[in-house]
Structure 1
Amino acid sequence: MASNLGGASISQTDDFETFTPTTDVEPLKRAWRNEKAAPEILPYEASLVGRIKEQIQAMEDTIEEYSRSGIDPLIVSLYQMDLDRVQFLLRSYIRSRLQKIEKYMLYILKSDELFGRLSREEITFTDRCRHDMKKHFDESVLSKLPNNYQDILKQSITSEEDDMVPEPPLDTFVVCKSKEYLEHIQLEDEEERASSRIEEPFEMEANVLHIIRYRPIKSLVESGRIDLL
Protein backbone atom coordinates (compact mmCIF):
# COMPACT_ATOMS: atom_id res chain seq x y z
CA MET A 1 0.00 0.00 0.00
CA ALA A 2 2.76 2.42 0.94
CA SER A 3 4.55 1.62 -2.29
CA ASN A 4 1.48 2.40 -4.40
CA LEU A 5 0.93 5.71 -2.64
CA GLY A 6 4.54 6.65 -3.13
CA GLY A 7 4.33 5.82 -6.82
CA ALA A 8 1.21 7.94 -7.23
CA SER A 9 2.91 10.86 -5.49
CA ILE A 10 5.94 10.63 -7.76
CA SER A 11 3.71 10.43 -10.84
CA GLN A 12 1.74 13.50 -9.78
CA THR A 13 4.96 15.41 -9.13
CA ASP A 14 6.25 14.47 -12.58
CA ASP A 15 2.96 15.69 -14.05
CA PHE A 16 3.46 18.99 -12.28
CA GLU A 17 6.90 19.40 -13.82
CA THR A 18 5.44 18.97 -17.32
CA PHE A 19 2.49 21.18 -16.42
CA THR A 20 4.64 24.29 -16.01
CA PRO A 21 4.80 26.12 -19.40
CA THR A 22 8.43 27.25 -19.04
CA THR A 23 8.90 27.88 -22.76
CA ASP A 24 6.48 30.81 -22.71
CA VAL A 25 6.85 31.91 -19.09
CA GLU A 26 10.47 32.92 -19.62
CA PRO A 27 9.67 35.13 -22.66
CA LEU A 28 6.80 36.61 -20.65
CA LYS A 29 9.22 37.43 -17.84
CA ARG A 30 11.53 39.17 -20.31
CA ALA A 31 8.67 41.13 -21.88
CA TRP A 32 7.46 42.11 -18.40
CA ARG A 33 10.92 43.26 -17.25
CA ASN A 34 11.52 45.20 -20.45
CA GLU A 35 8.13 46.92 -20.26
CA LYS A 36 8.60 47.80 -16.59
CA ALA A 37 12.07 49.26 -17.16
CA ALA A 38 11.63 51.02 -20.53
CA PRO A 39 10.57 54.69 -20.35
CA GLU A 40 8.44 54.34 -23.50
CA ILE A 41 5.83 51.80 -24.50
CA LEU A 42 7.30 48.83 -26.35
CA PRO A 43 5.73 46.77 -29.16
CA TYR A 44 2.87 44.62 -27.89
CA GLU A 45 3.76 40.93 -27.65
CA ALA A 46 0.55 39.75 -29.30
CA SER A 47 1.49 36.16 -30.13
CA LEU A 48 3.13 35.61 -26.74
CA VAL A 49 0.13 36.99 -24.84
CA GLY A 50 -2.20 34.85 -26.94
CA ARG A 51 -0.28 31.68 -26.12
CA ILE A 52 -0.09 32.58 -22.43
CA LYS A 53 -3.87 33.10 -22.28
CA GLU A 54 -4.41 29.67 -23.83
CA GLN A 55 -2.02 28.12 -21.33
CA ILE A 56 -3.76 29.85 -18.43
CA GLN A 57 -7.08 28.40 -19.58
CA ALA A 58 -5.54 24.93 -19.84
CA MET A 59 -4.02 25.29 -16.38
CA GLU A 60 -7.37 26.35 -14.91
CA ASP A 61 -9.08 23.36 -16.54
CA THR A 62 -6.42 21.00 -15.18
CA ILE A 63 -6.75 22.38 -11.64
CA GLU A 64 -10.53 22.04 -11.77
CA GLU A 65 -10.28 18.47 -13.04
CA TYR A 66 -7.72 17.48 -10.41
CA SER A 67 -9.81 19.04 -7.64
CA ARG A 68 -12.82 16.95 -8.69
CA SER A 69 -10.71 13.79 -9.02
CA GLY A 70 -9.51 13.82 -5.42
CA ILE A 71 -5.86 14.49 -6.26
CA ASP A 72 -3.66 15.27 -3.24
CA PRO A 73 -4.51 18.88 -2.19
CA LEU A 74 -0.79 19.63 -1.89
CA ILE A 75 -0.27 18.81 -5.57
CA VAL A 76 -3.30 20.90 -6.52
CA SER A 77 -1.93 23.82 -4.50
CA LEU A 78 1.35 23.60 -6.44
CA TYR A 79 -0.60 23.83 -9.67
CA GLN A 80 -2.52 26.82 -8.30
CA MET A 81 0.68 28.59 -7.22
CA ASP A 82 2.13 28.20 -10.69
CA LEU A 83 -1.09 29.49 -12.24
CA ASP A 84 -1.06 32.50 -9.90
CA ARG A 85 2.53 33.26 -10.90
CA VAL A 86 1.72 33.29 -14.62
CA GLN A 87 -1.42 35.38 -14.08
CA PHE A 88 0.54 37.92 -12.03
CA LEU A 89 3.14 38.33 -14.77
CA LEU A 90 0.52 38.78 -17.48
CA ARG A 91 -1.55 41.25 -15.46
CA SER A 92 1.50 43.26 -14.43
CA TYR A 93 2.71 43.37 -18.05
CA ILE A 94 -0.64 44.70 -19.28
CA ARG A 95 -0.97 47.09 -16.33
CA SER A 96 2.46 48.59 -17.03
CA ARG A 97 1.45 49.28 -20.62
CA LEU A 98 -1.86 50.88 -19.60
CA GLN A 99 -0.06 53.14 -17.14
CA LYS A 100 2.24 54.36 -19.92
CA ILE A 101 -0.73 54.93 -22.20
CA GLU A 102 -2.44 57.03 -19.53
CA LYS A 103 0.71 59.06 -18.91
CA TYR A 104 1.88 59.55 -22.51
CA MET A 105 -1.41 59.15 -24.35
CA LEU A 106 -1.19 62.38 -26.36
CA TYR A 107 2.42 61.69 -27.32
CA ILE A 108 1.53 58.16 -28.47
CA LEU A 109 -1.36 59.48 -30.54
CA LYS A 110 1.03 61.87 -32.33
CA SER A 111 3.42 59.09 -33.32
CA ASP A 112 2.42 56.51 -35.92
CA GLU A 113 5.28 54.30 -34.73
CA LEU A 114 4.18 54.28 -31.09
CA PHE A 115 0.49 54.01 -31.96
CA GLY A 116 1.30 50.96 -34.06
CA ARG A 117 2.71 49.26 -30.96
CA LEU A 118 -0.70 49.10 -29.28
CA SER A 119 -3.05 46.15 -29.27
CA ARG A 120 -6.64 46.54 -30.44
CA GLU A 121 -7.81 46.63 -26.83
CA GLU A 122 -5.20 49.27 -26.00
CA ILE A 123 -6.30 51.39 -28.95
CA THR A 124 -9.87 51.28 -27.64
CA PHE A 125 -8.59 52.19 -24.17
CA THR A 126 -6.56 55.09 -25.61
CA ASP A 127 -9.50 56.52 -27.54
CA ARG A 128 -11.72 56.32 -24.47
CA CYS A 129 -9.09 57.98 -22.27
CA ARG A 130 -8.56 60.76 -24.80
CA HIS A 131 -12.30 61.42 -24.99
CA ASP A 132 -12.70 61.43 -21.20
CA MET A 133 -9.67 63.64 -20.63
CA LYS A 134 -10.71 66.19 -23.25
CA LYS A 135 -14.23 66.31 -21.84
CA HIS A 136 -12.92 66.78 -18.31
CA PHE A 137 -10.52 69.58 -19.25
CA ASP A 138 -13.09 71.32 -21.42
CA GLU A 139 -15.70 71.33 -18.67
CA SER A 140 -13.42 72.10 -15.74
CA VAL A 141 -10.72 74.43 -17.12
CA LEU A 142 -10.44 75.19 -20.83
CA SER A 143 -13.95 76.56 -21.31
CA LYS A 144 -13.21 79.18 -18.66
CA LEU A 145 -10.01 80.41 -20.31
CA PRO A 146 -9.63 82.92 -23.16
CA ASN A 147 -9.94 81.44 -26.64
CA ASN A 148 -6.18 81.64 -27.20
CA TYR A 149 -5.58 79.21 -24.33
CA GLN A 150 -8.23 76.56 -24.91
CA ASP A 151 -6.00 74.08 -26.74
CA ILE A 152 -5.24 70.91 -24.81
CA LEU A 153 -1.97 70.40 -26.70
CA LYS A 154 -0.48 73.91 -26.68
CA GLN A 155 -0.03 76.60 -24.08
CA SER A 156 -1.54 79.06 -26.54
CA ILE A 157 -2.47 79.17 -30.22
CA THR A 158 0.76 81.09 -30.86
CA SER A 159 2.87 78.09 -29.85
CA GLU A 160 4.50 76.45 -32.84
CA GLU A 161 4.76 73.03 -31.20
CA ASP A 162 2.56 70.90 -28.97
CA ASP A 163 4.37 72.03 -25.83
CA MET A 164 1.76 70.66 -23.42
CA VAL A 165 2.28 67.03 -24.41
CA PRO A 166 4.31 64.96 -21.91
CA GLU A 167 7.08 62.95 -23.55
CA PRO A 168 8.75 59.80 -22.20
CA PRO A 169 12.26 60.47 -20.83
CA LEU A 170 14.26 58.51 -23.38
CA ASP A 171 17.57 59.73 -21.93
CA THR A 172 16.91 58.10 -18.56
CA PHE A 173 19.45 55.50 -17.44
CA VAL A 174 18.48 51.83 -17.42
CA VAL A 175 20.10 48.63 -16.19
CA CYS A 176 20.55 46.19 -19.04
CA LYS A 177 22.48 43.24 -20.38
CA SER A 178 23.01 41.87 -23.86
CA LYS A 179 22.33 38.32 -24.99
CA GLU A 180 25.46 38.30 -27.15
CA TYR A 181 28.65 40.22 -27.69
CA LEU A 182 27.85 43.64 -29.16
CA GLU A 183 30.35 46.15 -30.50
CA HIS A 184 30.39 49.64 -32.00
CA ILE A 185 27.45 50.83 -29.90
CA GLN A 186 27.14 54.59 -30.31
CA LEU A 187 26.19 56.12 -26.96
CA GLU A 188 26.40 59.77 -28.07
CA ASP A 189 24.04 61.63 -30.35
CA GLU A 190 25.30 63.68 -33.31
CA GLU A 191 25.56 66.91 -31.31
CA GLU A 192 27.56 65.23 -28.55
CA ARG A 193 29.83 63.52 -31.07
CA ALA A 194 30.50 66.83 -32.80
CA SER A 195 31.64 68.41 -29.53
CA SER A 196 33.80 65.44 -28.49
CA ARG A 197 37.42 65.27 -29.50
CA ILE A 198 37.71 61.52 -29.02
CA GLU A 199 34.99 59.06 -29.88
CA GLU A 200 35.34 55.77 -28.04
CA PRO A 201 33.32 52.80 -29.28
CA PHE A 202 31.31 50.96 -26.67
CA GLU A 203 31.17 47.20 -26.40
CA MET A 204 28.92 44.90 -24.40
CA GLU A 205 29.86 41.40 -23.31
CA ALA A 206 27.06 38.87 -23.09
CA ASN A 207 25.25 38.71 -19.72
CA VAL A 208 27.27 41.56 -18.20
CA LEU A 209 25.22 44.25 -16.46
CA HIS A 210 25.52 47.85 -17.68
CA ILE A 211 23.88 51.14 -16.74
CA ILE A 212 23.31 53.08 -19.97
CA ARG A 213 21.01 55.77 -21.31
CA TYR A 214 17.98 54.19 -22.91
CA ARG A 215 17.91 56.23 -26.12
CA PRO A 216 21.11 54.82 -27.73
CA ILE A 217 20.06 51.21 -27.11
CA LYS A 218 16.31 51.44 -27.75
CA SER A 219 16.55 49.76 -31.15
CA LEU A 220 18.57 46.91 -29.63
CA VAL A 221 15.93 46.48 -26.92
CA GLU A 222 13.16 46.40 -29.52
CA SER A 223 15.04 43.82 -31.61
CA GLY A 224 15.52 41.60 -28.55
CA ARG A 225 19.32 41.78 -28.49
CA ILE A 226 19.38 43.66 -25.17
CA ASP A 227 17.23 42.94 -22.12
CA LEU A 228 16.32 45.54 -19.50
CA LEU A 229 16.31 44.73 -15.79
Structure 2
Amino acid sequence: MSDVLSDEVGEIGQDDGEEDVMTPAELIAKLEEAWLNEKFSPELLENRSEVVECVMEQLTHMETNLQRVKKGDMKASVHRMEIDRIRFVLSSYLRSRLQKIEKFFPHVLEKEKSRALGDPSFLSPEEFAFAKEYFANTETFLKAVALKHMPPNLQSVDMQKAVPEPYLDSFVFLRVKERQDNVLVEPESDEQKEYVVDLEEGSQHLMRYRTIAPLVSNGAVQLI
Protein backbone atom coordinates (compact mmCIF):
# COMPACT_ATOMS: atom_id res chain seq x y z
CA MET A 1 0.00 0.00 0.00
CA SER A 2 3.06 2.26 -0.08
CA ASP A 3 1.89 4.10 -3.19
CA VAL A 4 -1.40 5.02 -1.52
CA LEU A 5 -0.16 5.69 1.99
CA SER A 6 1.01 9.27 2.29
CA ASP A 7 4.73 9.91 2.46
CA GLU A 8 4.00 12.25 5.34
CA VAL A 9 4.21 10.90 8.85
CA GLY A 10 2.02 11.21 11.91
CA GLU A 11 3.18 13.34 14.82
CA ILE A 12 1.93 12.28 18.23
CA GLY A 13 2.29 14.70 21.13
CA GLN A 14 4.33 13.53 24.12
CA ASP A 15 4.10 14.57 27.76
CA ASP A 16 7.45 16.36 27.55
CA GLY A 17 6.21 18.55 24.71
CA GLU A 18 8.17 16.74 22.01
CA GLU A 19 6.61 15.00 19.02
CA ASP A 20 6.87 11.27 18.40
CA VAL A 21 7.21 11.05 14.62
CA MET A 22 5.85 7.84 13.08
CA THR A 23 5.39 6.39 9.63
CA PRO A 24 1.82 5.95 8.34
CA ALA A 25 2.02 2.19 8.94
CA GLU A 26 3.10 2.76 12.56
CA LEU A 27 0.25 5.24 12.99
CA ILE A 28 -2.32 2.69 11.80
CA ALA A 29 -0.79 0.12 14.16
CA LYS A 30 -1.26 2.60 17.04
CA LEU A 31 -4.91 2.99 16.10
CA GLU A 32 -5.44 -0.77 15.98
CA GLU A 33 -3.80 -1.16 19.38
CA ALA A 34 -6.02 1.54 20.90
CA TRP A 35 -9.07 -0.07 19.26
CA LEU A 36 -8.40 -3.56 20.66
CA ASN A 37 -7.61 -2.22 24.13
CA GLU A 38 -10.81 -0.17 24.16
CA LYS A 39 -12.87 -3.02 22.73
CA PHE A 40 -11.81 -5.56 25.36
CA SER A 41 -11.32 -3.32 28.39
CA PRO A 42 -14.28 -3.23 30.80
CA GLU A 43 -13.60 0.46 31.58
CA LEU A 44 -13.15 3.57 29.48
CA LEU A 45 -9.47 4.11 28.74
CA GLU A 46 -7.54 7.33 28.23
CA ASN A 47 -8.59 8.97 24.99
CA ARG A 48 -6.22 8.78 22.02
CA SER A 49 -7.59 11.80 20.18
CA GLU A 50 -4.14 12.68 18.82
CA VAL A 51 -4.00 9.29 17.08
CA VAL A 52 -7.55 9.71 15.77
CA GLU A 53 -6.75 13.14 14.34
CA CYS A 54 -3.58 11.91 12.64
CA VAL A 55 -5.38 8.89 11.17
CA MET A 56 -8.14 11.10 9.79
CA GLU A 57 -5.51 13.29 8.14
CA GLN A 58 -3.83 10.17 6.77
CA LEU A 59 -7.13 8.94 5.32
CA THR A 60 -7.52 12.24 3.51
CA HIS A 61 -4.07 11.81 1.96
CA MET A 62 -4.86 8.22 1.01
CA GLU A 63 -8.12 9.25 -0.68
CA THR A 64 -6.24 11.93 -2.62
CA ASN A 65 -3.56 9.47 -3.71
CA LEU A 66 -6.22 6.93 -4.71
CA GLN A 67 -7.72 9.44 -7.14
CA ARG A 68 -4.41 9.44 -9.01
CA VAL A 69 -4.58 5.69 -9.63
CA LYS A 70 -5.63 4.95 -13.21
CA LYS A 71 -9.16 3.66 -13.68
CA GLY A 72 -9.24 -0.07 -14.24
CA ASP A 73 -6.00 -0.58 -12.29
CA MET A 74 -6.39 -3.76 -10.24
CA LYS A 75 -4.55 -2.10 -7.37
CA ALA A 76 -7.32 0.47 -6.96
CA SER A 77 -9.79 -2.02 -5.46
CA VAL A 78 -7.16 -3.32 -3.05
CA HIS A 79 -6.30 0.21 -1.95
CA ARG A 80 -9.99 1.01 -1.49
CA MET A 81 -10.38 -2.06 0.73
CA GLU A 82 -7.48 -0.86 2.89
CA ILE A 83 -9.05 2.59 3.28
CA ASP A 84 -12.39 1.01 4.18
CA ARG A 85 -10.67 -1.26 6.72
CA ILE A 86 -9.01 1.70 8.44
CA ARG A 87 -12.31 3.60 8.49
CA PHE A 88 -14.00 0.59 10.08
CA VAL A 89 -11.36 0.36 12.83
CA LEU A 90 -11.60 4.10 13.48
CA SER A 91 -15.41 4.04 13.63
CA SER A 92 -15.45 0.96 15.86
CA TYR A 93 -12.96 2.58 18.26
CA LEU A 94 -15.02 5.76 18.60
CA ARG A 95 -18.28 3.80 18.86
CA SER A 96 -16.87 1.62 21.65
CA ARG A 97 -15.94 4.71 23.63
CA LEU A 98 -19.37 6.32 23.20
CA GLN A 99 -21.10 3.10 24.28
CA LYS A 100 -19.04 3.03 27.47
CA ILE A 101 -19.76 6.69 28.16
CA GLU A 102 -23.49 6.00 27.81
CA LYS A 103 -23.25 2.92 30.04
CA PHE A 104 -21.09 4.41 32.80
CA PHE A 105 -21.66 8.16 32.35
CA PRO A 106 -21.76 9.27 36.03
CA HIS A 107 -18.61 7.30 36.86
CA VAL A 108 -16.84 8.53 33.72
CA LEU A 109 -17.59 12.14 34.62
CA GLU A 110 -16.55 11.64 38.24
CA LYS A 111 -13.27 10.05 37.14
CA GLU A 112 -12.61 12.95 34.81
CA LYS A 113 -13.48 15.46 37.52
CA SER A 114 -11.23 13.84 40.13
CA ARG A 115 -8.10 13.42 37.99
CA ALA A 116 -5.04 15.24 39.27
CA LEU A 117 -3.95 18.47 37.66
CA GLY A 118 -1.62 17.66 34.78
CA ASP A 119 -2.84 14.08 34.37
CA PRO A 120 -4.05 13.19 30.85
CA SER A 121 -7.78 13.51 30.25
CA PHE A 122 -9.80 10.33 29.79
CA LEU A 123 -12.25 12.20 27.57
CA SER A 124 -11.76 14.29 24.49
CA PRO A 125 -13.49 17.71 24.58
CA GLU A 126 -16.25 16.31 22.36
CA GLU A 127 -16.70 13.23 24.55
CA PHE A 128 -16.80 15.38 27.68
CA ALA A 129 -19.54 17.56 26.19
CA PHE A 130 -21.46 14.44 25.14
CA ALA A 131 -21.16 12.88 28.62
CA LYS A 132 -22.40 16.04 30.35
CA GLU A 133 -25.34 16.37 27.95
CA TYR A 134 -26.20 12.68 28.36
CA PHE A 135 -26.14 13.09 32.16
CA ALA A 136 -28.41 16.16 32.02
CA ASN A 137 -30.84 14.54 29.59
CA THR A 138 -31.06 11.38 31.69
CA GLU A 139 -31.84 13.39 34.81
CA THR A 140 -34.47 15.42 32.97
CA PHE A 141 -36.10 12.28 31.60
CA LEU A 142 -36.21 10.55 34.99
CA LYS A 143 -37.76 13.60 36.64
CA ALA A 144 -40.35 13.98 33.89
CA VAL A 145 -41.56 10.37 33.73
CA ALA A 146 -41.01 9.04 37.24
CA LEU A 147 -39.55 11.16 40.02
CA LYS A 148 -42.17 13.90 39.93
CA HIS A 149 -44.82 11.27 40.68
CA MET A 150 -42.94 9.98 43.71
CA PRO A 151 -43.29 11.22 47.32
CA PRO A 152 -41.21 14.38 48.00
CA ASN A 153 -38.54 12.45 49.91
CA LEU A 154 -37.98 10.16 46.89
CA GLN A 155 -37.84 12.79 44.15
CA SER A 156 -34.05 12.68 43.80
CA VAL A 157 -31.68 10.00 42.58
CA ASP A 158 -27.96 9.46 43.13
CA MET A 159 -26.66 8.62 39.68
CA GLN A 160 -23.41 7.25 41.09
CA LYS A 161 -25.38 4.59 42.97
CA ALA A 162 -28.08 4.07 40.36
CA VAL A 163 -25.69 3.32 37.47
CA PRO A 164 -23.41 0.26 37.83
CA GLU A 165 -19.65 0.80 37.74
CA PRO A 166 -17.36 -0.97 35.26
CA TYR A 167 -16.62 -4.50 36.46
CA LEU A 168 -12.83 -4.43 36.76
CA ASP A 169 -12.55 -8.01 38.02
CA SER A 170 -13.60 -9.45 34.67
CA PHE A 171 -11.01 -11.62 32.89
CA VAL A 172 -9.31 -10.50 29.68
CA PHE A 173 -6.89 -12.04 27.20
CA LEU A 174 -3.61 -10.20 26.72
CA ARG A 175 -0.30 -10.37 24.90
CA VAL A 176 2.85 -9.12 26.63
CA LYS A 177 4.79 -6.48 24.68
CA GLU A 178 7.45 -5.82 27.33
CA ARG A 179 8.63 -8.30 29.95
CA GLN A 180 7.13 -7.67 33.39
CA ASP A 181 8.53 -9.18 36.60
CA ASN A 182 6.66 -9.86 39.83
CA VAL A 183 3.19 -8.90 38.68
CA LEU A 184 0.84 -9.21 41.64
CA VAL A 185 -2.02 -11.50 40.58
CA GLU A 186 -3.64 -12.10 43.95
CA PRO A 187 -2.86 -10.17 47.17
CA GLU A 188 -2.15 -12.03 50.38
CA SER A 189 -5.25 -13.02 52.34
CA ASP A 190 -6.20 -15.28 55.21
CA GLU A 191 -6.79 -18.15 52.79
CA GLN A 192 -3.69 -17.80 50.57
CA LYS A 193 -0.28 -16.25 50.26
CA GLU A 194 0.59 -13.44 47.88
CA TYR A 195 0.69 -14.73 44.29
CA VAL A 196 2.99 -13.05 41.74
CA VAL A 197 4.02 -14.04 38.21
CA ASP A 198 6.60 -13.01 35.62
CA LEU A 199 5.21 -12.11 32.20
CA GLU A 200 7.55 -12.99 29.35
CA GLU A 201 7.62 -10.80 26.24
CA GLY A 202 5.40 -12.29 23.54
CA SER A 203 3.51 -14.57 25.92
CA GLN A 204 -0.28 -14.60 26.09
CA HIS A 205 -2.40 -14.87 29.22
CA LEU A 206 -5.93 -14.81 30.59
CA MET A 207 -5.90 -12.57 33.67
CA ARG A 208 -8.12 -10.40 35.82
CA TYR A 209 -8.32 -6.94 34.26
CA ARG A 210 -7.79 -5.11 37.55
CA THR A 211 -4.40 -6.83 37.85
CA ILE A 212 -3.02 -5.64 34.54
CA ALA A 213 -4.90 -2.34 34.09
CA PRO A 214 -1.75 -0.25 34.75
CA LEU A 215 0.15 -2.33 32.17
CA VAL A 216 -2.54 -1.65 29.57
CA SER A 217 -2.30 2.05 30.34
CA ASN A 218 1.48 2.23 29.90
CA GLY A 219 1.51 0.02 26.80
CA ALA A 220 3.37 -2.93 28.34
CA VAL A 221 0.57 -5.34 27.40
CA GLN A 222 -2.00 -5.46 24.61
CA LEU A 223 -5.53 -6.76 25.06
CA ILE A 224 -6.53 -9.32 22.41
Same fold (TM over 0.5): yes
User: If each structure's strand is expressed as a fraction of its own residues, which one has the higher value?
Assistant: 2
Indicate the residue corresponding to 1:41 in structure 2. 44
Amino acid paired to 1:116: S
Give ranges in structure 1 of 5+ residues lacking alignment: 1-12, 155-161
Q: Which ranges in structure 2 are unaligned for 5 or more consecutive residues?
A: 8-22
TM-score (ref. length: structure 1): 0.81
Q: Does 1:109 align with 2:114?
A: no
Change (3 A) 1:44 1:17: closer
Offset, 1:197: 4.1
Question: Aligned pair 1:26/2:24, yes or no?
Answer: no
Deviations 1:60-106, CA, capped at 9 Å, x for gaps: 2222343xxx3434222122111101100100000000000000001
Mapped partners of 1:221, 1:14: distance in 2: 30
Give the length in aligned residue pairs: 204
| 2:80 maps to 1:58 | no
**Counterpart for residue 221 of structure 1:** 216
* Whole-Å separation in 2 of the counterparts to 1:17 and 1:59: 5
Identity of aligned residues (%): 32
Residue 201 (structure 2) aligns with? 206
- Greater Rg over alpha carbons, structure: 1
Matched, 1:195 2:200: no
> 2:182 corresponds to which letter in structure 1?
H
Letter in 2 for 1:176: L
C-alpha distance in 1 between matches for 2:169 and 2:28? 30
Partner SS for 1:130: helix
Asked if the contact 2:43/2:166 (under 8 Å) is kept, the reply is yes
CA RMSD of aligned residues (A): 2.2
Q: Normalized per residue, which structure has more helix?
A: 1
| Structure 1 equivalent of residue 171 of structure 2 | 173
| TM-score where L is the length of structure 2 | 0.83
The runs of 4+ residues in structure 1 deviating greater than 4 Å are: 16-20
8 Å CA contact 2:35, 2:89 repeated in 1:
yes
Distance 1:144 1:17 in 2: 59
CA positional deviation for 1:127: 1.5
